[in-house]
Amino acid sequence: MPSPSFETAYAQGAFADFFQLAPKDTAAALELPRPVPRAALTAALGRSAEKLGAPEAALRNLERLAHPGSRVVVTGQQTGLLLGPLYTLSKAVTAIALAKRLSSEARPVVPVFWLASQDADSAEIDHSYLLDLRERLHRPALPLPEGVCAGRIPLPEAWLEALLCDLDALEVPEPYRREVGALLQRTAARAQSFSEWFGALLYELLGPAGLVVLDPMACDTAALFRPVLEAELAAPLRSVTAIGAAGAQLRRLGWTPQLGRGAGATNLFVEEAGQRRLLRVDGDGFRTERAHYTAAELRERLEHDPCALTPAAGLRPVTQDAVLPTAATVVGPGELRYFAQLRGVYEAHGVAMPLIWPRASVTVLEPPVRRILDKFGLSARELQRDFDGVMGETLLALHGHKAAFDESLAALKRHALELTRHASNIDPTLSGTVARAEARLTSVFGTLAKKSAAALSARDDLYTRQFGRLRAHLLPNGAPQERVLSPFSFFLKFGVQSVVEAFLALPPEGEHEVRF
């Protein structure tokens, strides 16, 4: 039996020492002390919301955030082109649904989306993937500068025009193409930076459901993080040491740590000539590849430009929860692993660690995919977990061969058990030899079954085409759909509102299918 995933182990309470709250303990999460700069926060978010075109429902939630007992459910993501992969939408609607579940008149709970506008990995955000009606995978991309924070990248009109030209090459219904084009134009007109465009899109799509967007590169918002950043400058290796200790403990338990830092590395970046560069400890000061700084010089830079210093992944959640009254943070599987190393960082800064809530997972099933799955009695999830194995077993069954393989393998196991009993009666040490022989024969049977399925596939054009379509939709580029395709892939085929409404109807946990 395979070992449980990190997420499953977390849900089962296997990492109690690494998190402040037990999984799903929402009652305790709502009671976490949150002494945050509420008035300054709501004022800063309000100015950003007005600039990005937030609708009335989002503005009402900002008013609720001003309530002294309010809490938030926060999530976030890199500001990828066309909202990046589909799980961006899944994370946002998970936060909305969980906030709605927890909210009350006495204690309003507001969903917040943190734009990763401080991120500078352009190779991860400069493109998106779209699958058209002819099942051709398109990769529109923009020439983002490398090493520049997304919030510092301007949004020239030529980029929008180039993107709209890329969309013209897709085989999609013309009314939906026009709808998407108008959406992109409206939101781009409100944005000055690449990341602000992402925020404007979120406000238009999910603002009516009450989502509030936080841009940490907005100057008046960034100024709120200064106490955490200055505390980090005062003890720059404290958080790194805590992360390393948690990583060592995870390794002892058999898990690979997600976060690590080289010698002298801190959890801070400094902006130099427009580039985001890691700060390292150097004697009683700091250095990058280009320059040396004293702590006083860095504090002065922060005073004049609150965006000059930005946190690394090992500090960013703490800056977030030092200014937001966070009850729960919605995360993906990879983020869950690095949060497991952050409890000591929260404690070092005197910030309560929120409840960590794994996001809902969503796969969209288009009509041809739905029909093929129903025909074969398959689920999208089982194909995404082992496509070739499931396809092979299905082809063997369709051609009447699976039963023979299963019966032969069952007979082998029966004979092996009988042989083991006989051998153990003769000499108990021989049972291991029999078990190894059984394992080798089982492997041979498995290889034979795979080769037989491949032979059937090669001569069966109809089934091969149908499974090829399933692979194109469910595992584009060899990865699960939600990690590759943009939500715009579906906006362009089914309309923006129908897709958004389908996602908003989902509960904030579990694995789901959205069928069109």
Work out the number of other CB atoms within 10 angstroms of the CB of residue 452.
18
For the chain, which ranges sit under pLDDT 50?
Answer: 1
Work out the number of other CB atoms within 10 angstroms of the CB of residue 497.
12
Distance in angstroms (rounded) separating the CA atoms of residues 227 and 215: 18
pLDDT digits (tens, 9 = 90+) for 109-123: 999 999 999 999 999
Residue 187 in contact with residue 206, Cβ under 8 Å? no
Domain segments of the chain as ranges? 22-220+321-337+353-363, 227-310, 366-479
Distance in angstroms (rounded) separating the CA atoms of residues 411 and 431: 18
pLDDT digits (tens, 9 = 90+) for 370-408: 999 999 999 999 999 999 888 888 877 766 655 556 566
Q: What is the 3-state secondary structure (H, E, C) of 28-89?
A: HHHCCCCCCCHHHHHHHHHHHHHHHCCCHHHHHHHHHHCCCCCEEEEEEECCCHHHCCCHHH
- At 388 the pLDDT is 87
Residue 89 in contact with residue 504, Cβ under 8 Å? no
Residue 83 in contact with residue 490, Cβ under 8 Å? no
Of 240, 191, 239, which is closest to residue 215 (Cα–Cα)? 191
H or E segment to which residue 331 belongs: strand 326-331
Find how far residue 453's CA is from the centre of its chain.
Answer: 35
Residue bearing tokens 């099933």: 365
DSSP letter at 460 equals -
Backbone angles phi, psi at 297, to 5 degrees: -65, -40
- At 423 the pLDDT is 65
- At 343 the pLDDT is 98
What's the whole-model pTM score?
0.89
Backbone angles phi, psi at 232, to 5 degrees: -70, -40
Distance in angstroms (rounded) separating the CA atoms of residues 389 and 449: 10
- At 510 the pLDDT is 95
User: What contacts 482, CB < 8 A, 6 or more positions away?
Assistant: 85, 86, 87, 90, 361, 362, 363
- At 428 the pLDDT is 73
User: What contacts 222, CB < 8 A, 6 or more positions away?
Assistant: 216, 306, 307
CA distances from 16 to 32, 87, 315, 358 (A): 17, 27, 21, 16
- At 404 the pLDDT is 57
